[in-house]
Amino acid sequence: MGFFTDVDNYLFRQGTSYEVYKKMGAHIVTENDVKGTRFVLWAPNAQAVSVVCETEEPDREIPMERSADGIWEVFIPQIKSGDVYRYAITGADGVKRYKSDPYSFRYQLRPDNGSVVCSLRGYKWNDSDYMADVDNTAVIDRPMAIYEVHLGSWKKEYKDEDDPDGFMNYRELGDQLADYVSYMGYTHVELMGICEYPFDPSWGYQVTGYFAPTSRYGAPNDLRYMIDTLHQRGIGVILDWVPAHFPKDDFALGRFDGTPLYESADPLRAEFPIWGTYAFDHGKPEVRSFLISSAFYWINEFHIDALRVDAVAAMQYADFSRSEWRPNIHGGHINLESTDFLKQINSELTQRTKGYLMAEDSSIERGITNDVHIGGLGFTLKWNMGWMYDTLKYLSYDFHERRYHHGELTHIPDYAFSENFILVLSHDEVNVGKGSITDRLFGSYEDKLASVKALYAFQFTFPGKKLLFMGLDFAQDSEWDFGKSLDRRLIDDPGHRDVMLTVRRLLSVYKETPTLYSDSKDSATFEWVTKDFADANVIGYIRKNPWNYSGAVLVICNFSPWHHGGYSCGVPVDGEYTRIFSTYDFIPGQGGPEELGGYPVMRCEYSWCDGKPYRLSYGLRPFESVIIKLPL
């Protein structure tokens, strides 16, 4: 029985080899008392394959032996961790190609693209307490406030004048990220694409290494240290993952053995024209084993908490970005093979690991977060693109025009409970010509900073988990640029620091208030109190548990520059109402809790209003959003 056994081969061919990375690729082993590396490759249509080792003998090629099923193997003595290698593959078309290892755990720093022998061993984890508490079945009932990060531009430190990139090491980033995220109060960090990729402007979303963290920021164990550090501070880690498509670089997966191996052979399904990439053939069992084992790899070997799956709609629809497309066997536009793949990976991952998947999905399909056994795709959470689009569109209008677009806000609850949602203000909202978050909003610069705070108050109190992209939490006033560091000097500006402190307080209130984070698909947890105050640009609602008002909070958002001194709304119970948050809390002289010695208390009066027996009056200031705790 060889290194890649008959059982390994059977599971791989069935699309159920969920840890095939432990056999495919380059593995440091001892065979017959000789230390070396065992290389295993899937290239069923190749005529010949050799390992090209960059050792003391340049361009030394060692032929591999082929099994009947197209698995190629060879053991090479003395090849050790850190050695660079490639595969020389003579394809079915007779063309010799030099390819990186699809299962490599490490690659050279771009623009080089060789694979690097790397052991999975050698790191001692210290996050056992955190890992023992992980429970993916309880995600919906726990607070989740995600800080989305692009590591290359979060912060730069140029080592010397010849350093063109200023990339920090994963270890440095881990220490500093843990400090900042802990100070602010986020529960999770989401890492934008760090699976190895060749082209910086792709931000990591055109992947060539599905089992390797990018070498831009260090070695795999450096990344483990970063995740370990975050976990020890109680911070979860989410990884962006791209199983929809891959780039056409000659050294990577495309036409790997001279044929469409990882991509579809059907020309109407082989590519995504919108990105200029190949589309994975999710109907091929070996491709499923490759992708699902990649997901297992990040969760098992790097303790990643969850994977955010990019471009789910591209996988669901056969006509996505295509003018010509192939209907499914029923004549429809749903890609049945890809949706079946998504169901399989969601089912297997949640059953066999502590990890789970989140969908970045812009489709209108329902059931993305429904269980597979009732016809859903099985994702644990889904990005709420509708909330982001509707809210930002409303806030882009002139204050006097918003009365005609009030429905952009008030119809959001109509779909808010159809999935387990995450409310996202991500990198997609502030890149490539879209401007900064303040650029997206109407008004003077001071109006925009005030509007940003009102927007965040709406986000952190509306049903759904939360995500903010780096820089948004202090309202960076320039568009995000992947090549530049965040402009942290803005934090010294009183207006921007006010935004940051407001976000910090919102994170605290959110985590302290179960009725704000115990998300479910139960619409009874949301109740309007002010829905039709369109002329004033005001909305108000109660967040509660499904049964009663115990622990409930009242939220009022004024999206206008006008003072509403006579504002009142109906409330359901008598007693003292305590304001626990205002967007004015950190503005000197505006009656924040430090100036008042605590949060103010108000009494309601018995007077029917908005269909409720009691009336609460509050003098709403321009752009003020407040959170008020109910008496019960």
Question: Are 558 and 428 in contact, with CB atoms under 8 Å apart?
Answer: no
Neighbouring-strand partners of residue 73: 40, 65
Tokens of 495: 């207006």
Pairing of strands 421-425, 465-469: parallel
Question: Are 458 and 526 in contact, with CB atoms under 8 Å apart?
Answer: no
SS3 242: coil
Tokens of 237: 């880690």
Catalytic residue, from 360, 390, 419, 519: name it: 360
Pseudo-torsion of CA 463, 466, 472, 474, nearest 10°? 90
SS3 86: strand
Tokens of 514: 């179960």
- C-alpha span between 174 and 225 (Å, rounded): 7
- C-alpha span between 576 and 76 (Å, rounded): 77
Tokens of 169: 């090491």
- CB 222: neighbour CB atoms within 10 A? 18
Catalytic residue, from 310, 390, 408, 498: name it: 310
Question: Are 315 and 341 in contact, with CB atoms under 8 Å apart?
Answer: yes
Listed residue (292, 421, 294) closest to 368, CA to CA = 421
- C-alpha span between 16 and 2 (Å, rounded): 20
Neighbouring-strand partners of residue 629: 553, 578
CA 326 to chain centre: 30
- The answer to whether 310 is a known catalytic residue is yes
Tokens of 247: 């780039």
- C-alpha span between 103 and 286 (Å, rounded): 13
Question: Are 425 and 472 in contact, with CB atoms under 8 Å apart?
Answer: yes
Phi then psi for residue 273, to 5 deg, are -60, -30
Indicate which residues carry an active-site annotation: 310, 360
